[in-house]
Amino acid sequence: MQPNVVQYEPHLALFVPNNDPLIFYRALANFGHQHMNKDGIIFVEIHEDLALPLNDLFTTSGYSRIEVRRDLQGKERMMKVQW
């Protein structure tokens, strides 16, 4: 991880409490099922290496419209998830 990221971002925003990097995304998927309207949308910023695992997580959680967007450097960094 780049030093400027570690120095200026909150530790909680960068590191998970265990070895499961998808823990918070799994919580968002579950929260969406309980509280989101049928046409609701979840937007998340993602780590560039997690696009495929997150696609699998949201797909197996019942979401069918999943889009991954690239940032200005061409890295997969944003995800839009909808029922």
Examine residue 7 and state whether it is found in any structural domain, yes or no: no
pLDDT at 15: 80
As a whole number, mean pLDDT of residues 54-58 equals: 97
Pick from 75, 72, 21, 67: nearest CA to 41: 67
Tokens of 46: 């993602």
Give pLDDT tens digits for 1-55: 788 888 988 887 778 778 899 999 999 999 999 999 988 999 999 999 999 999 9
Examine residue 11 and state whether it is found in any structural domain, yes or no: no
Examine residue 5 and state whether it is found in any structural domain, yes or no: no
C-beta separation of 5 from 14 below 8 A: yes
* Tally of structural domains, the chain: 1
Q: Look up the domain containing 77 and give its range.
A: 17-82
Examine residue 9 and state whether it is found in any structural domain, yes or no: no
Integer Cα distance of 63 and 56 in angstroms: 10
Integer Cα distance of 35 and 16 in angstroms: 24
Tell me the pLDDT band of 83, cut-offs 50, 70 and 90: confident
pLDDT at 1: 77
Integer Cα distance of 7 and 62 in angstroms: 37
